[in-house]
Amino acid sequence: MKITEVKIFPVNEERLKAYVTITLDNCFVVRDLKVIQGTTGLFVAMPSKKRKDGQFRDIAHPLNQETRAAIEDAVFAAFENELKSMGESLASMKRQKAPDNGSDDY
């Protein structure tokens, strides 16, 4: 599987830094990934839906660490390019490991 396109949609909010759409193998799109400013740095959050009990549950997510790392690397590279085009830098923002929200139990 290859990530063939990454689109970044910057957001000017305190924690939410961008919405992201990725395309896999030029034939499958995943929308609504998010670049979030966490307590120890930036992370990529997978698309999620709020359940009736108030908890959020990932709609789509990688099943292994290698795929998660590939997605994060592609998203952060595209995010850095977007920041550079806006005259900013990712250097001032630290990257962190995505929080485990219990979504990998499928």
Strands ordered across the beta sheet of 28-37: 3-10, 16-24, 28-37, 42-45
Residue 67 lies in a domain: yes
Residue 101 lies in a domain: no
Three-class DSSP category at 70: helix
Residue 65 lies in a domain: yes
Residue 27 lies in a domain: yes
pLDDT at 91: 52
Domain membership of residue 83 as a residue range? 3-49+58-92
Residue 64 lies in a domain: yes
pLDDT in tens, 21-77: 999 999 999 999 999 998 888 999 999 999 999 999 999 999 999 999 999 999 999
State the alpha helices, DSSP H only, in the chain: 65-85
Point out which residues pair with 33 in neighbouring strands.
20
Considering the entire predicted model, what is its pTM?
Answer: 0.78
**Owner of token pair 């030029």:** 26
Residue 74 lies in a domain: yes
| Number of domains forming the structure of the chain | 1
The CATH number for 73's domain is 3.30.1120.40
